[in-house]
Amino acid sequence: MIYELSPTVSSPESLHHDPVALAAATAEFHTSATGVLTQIPSSIAYLPFSHFIPAPTLASLTSTLRVDTPRASILASQFSPSTPLGQVEFNFDVSNHSPYFASEPGKVYGSMVIMLQYPFSVGSIHIPSSATFAPPRRAEAGDKPVIDPRYYLDAGALDFQLVAEAQKFGAKICATAPLAGIIEKRVFPPARESAEEEEAEEDFGDWVRDYTITDWHPVGTCGMGGSAGIEAGVVDARLRVYGVRGLRVVDASIMPLQVSAHIQATVYAIGEKGAALVLEDYYDRSNVEL
């Protein structure tokens, strides 16, 4: 959701359109290490569903949940009302994050970005087939992969309902002081205008269906197989690729699920652990790949 903010709100993004203000902010930063360039213009919280979805509604949403895969079974176990797991990230950022809404010059915007951390939706990434090209040819290294996110399909139908509920809570946050004090109006989706609309609970279903996009922090394309081995993953517990001698993957792609956080610190830990595993296997030949 995009909000128009009070013109008194300053942001690093707005400085790009005002050379005089940028020069002043830069000088203030170098002189006293204060001012707008010292800000992180966002506020972030990770919340469990039980924090903002009433228990009867949550129980109804999950009553038809399909748990016919190991991944779905793990995700389903996270719906206990007592779980402290941050299942949705609410991020209010002083900027316009939407590719669907064009900012007007001279105005300041804020985005309430809502990100589902453990989606049931499962997409696919494939090398393009020869039939993709005209004339037909084999794919080459420079060709883009074929990506189908499959948002809200199959078991992911539950994701759609959960995100729509999360949007309601995001709107409530933005209507609550002190944040509401710097907001002029919601511009995307447009704010409701009539008193009758204001009294009724807002339905974000159509908006969620039409404007969902993938956020940052991608993980999982080479997930660890765990006890299920190659049937459930790409790498083993020592980050070795199943069936490929001498190849490891040491990055965010080995994480089988997203985490309730921005992934930078976790990726650092994976890198440190991966380096240690390489050294261990180098000095202990009993662990060499078969």
Point out the residues that are catalytic: 217, 262
Tally of CA atoms within 13 A in the half-sphere of 183 that contains its CB: 22
Q: How far apart are CA 285 and CA 290, in angstroms?
A: 11
Do 248 and 240 touch, CB atoms closer than 8 A? Answer: yes
Q: How far apart are CA 110 and CA 5, in angstroms?
A: 6
- Spatial neighbors of 104 by CB under 8 A, at least 6 apart, are none
Q: Where are the beta strands (DSSP E) in the chain?
A: 2-5, 42-47, 88-93, 109-116, 124-126, 146-148, 183-188
Q: How far apart are CA 175 and CA 184, in angstroms?
A: 11
Q: Which of the 8 DSSP states describes residue 241?
A: B
Tally of CA atoms within 13 A in the half-sphere of 133 that contains its CB: 13
Do 223 and 74 touch, CB atoms closer than 8 A? Answer: no
* Strands 88-93 and 124-126, bridge-based pairing: unpaired
- Spatial neighbors of 290 by CB under 8 A, at least 6 apart, are 245
